[in-house]
Amino acid sequence: MGMKSTFYGEDGERCGVEQLALQYYAGEGGSWQGVHTESGIWLTLFGLLMWDAIFADVPNVFCTKFQTAPLDLETDSFYEVRKREIETVLEKIQGGMAEEILITSWELHKGTSCRGVKWERHSLSQLRAAVACIGGSCTASICRNLAQDYRSWSSGMPDLLLWRFHDNYRGEAKLVEVKGPRDRLSEQQRAWLLFLMDCGFNVEVCKVTHSLL
């Protein structure tokens, strides 16, 4: 078994390859802001944007008050049973209302347990910046993917979500899968990268290697 690679950030402290990549993209890589998230921020966004559909009054999916998601969330029936409600929300997201839905959901439900939603991990300002720069079409595509097959698509997403604003109204986002010297893409990661590219995302793989100097 090989030794794990050690890297040092701009402050001279040891860090992982993902943190090193964040520092690169924040500096010479293009003044990007962002988070090391993998699936975390996406499941939080999905939960907040789809809150009403997740907790819709559907028979026999909530058996106790302690559930953080309906029993059918990871089945095909989740989307099929709630198709009208889900597609209505997706249409609003695609039309540019994601930030408004996000703010409302945050203010109404903050602190309430919901599968995938990590209240303490990402601030509302981060989530707002993310959806503003990702855009309605791409945000809707990811939410639809998760709604239709949460079990298969709730893991394996790229390590970094990056965003930057060009002015007060225009922004862009980038998704980055970070790999160290001995890392390779898994099949799940490849599937996500292909899906994201088909959706129009700016996606890349960042390979971190040891300096030759």
> Could you report the per-residue pLDDT of 3-16, keeping only the tens digit for each?
556 666 666 566 67
- In angstroms, what CA-CA distances link 160 with 22, 90, 167, 168, 174? 8, 24, 22, 23, 8
Band of residue 167 on the pLDDT scale cut at 50, 70, 90 = confident
Query: Does 78 fall in a domain?
Result: yes
Q: Percent of the chain, pLDDT > 70?
A: 90
Q: What is the pLDDT of residue 170?
A: 80
Find how far residue 3's CA is from the centre of its chain: 30
Query: Does 189 fall in a domain?
Result: yes
Q: What is the pLDDT of residue 72?
A: 98
What is the domain count for the chain? 1
Domain that residue 150 falls in: 7-207
Q: What is the pLDDT of residue 38?
A: 76
Structure tokens at 92: 């609003």
Q: Decide if pLDDT at 27 tops 90.
A: no
Band of residue 2 on the pLDDT scale cut at 50, 70, 90 = very low
Segment 170-178 shows an average pLDDT of 92
Query: Does 112 fall in a domain?
Result: yes
Segment 115-126 shows an average pLDDT of 94
Query: Does 97 fall in a domain?
Result: yes
Q: What is the pLDDT of residue 4?
A: 56
Query: Does 87 fall in a domain?
Result: yes
Contact 155, 39 (CB under 8 A): yes
DSSP conformation class of 130: H
Query: Does 203 fall in a domain?
Result: yes
Query: Does 212 fall in a domain?
Result: no
Query: Does 2 fall in a domain?
Result: no
Give the closest residue to 130 by CA, choosing from 173, 95, 96, 92.
173
Cα angle, residue 185 at apex, residues 33 and 9 outer, rounded to 5°: 40
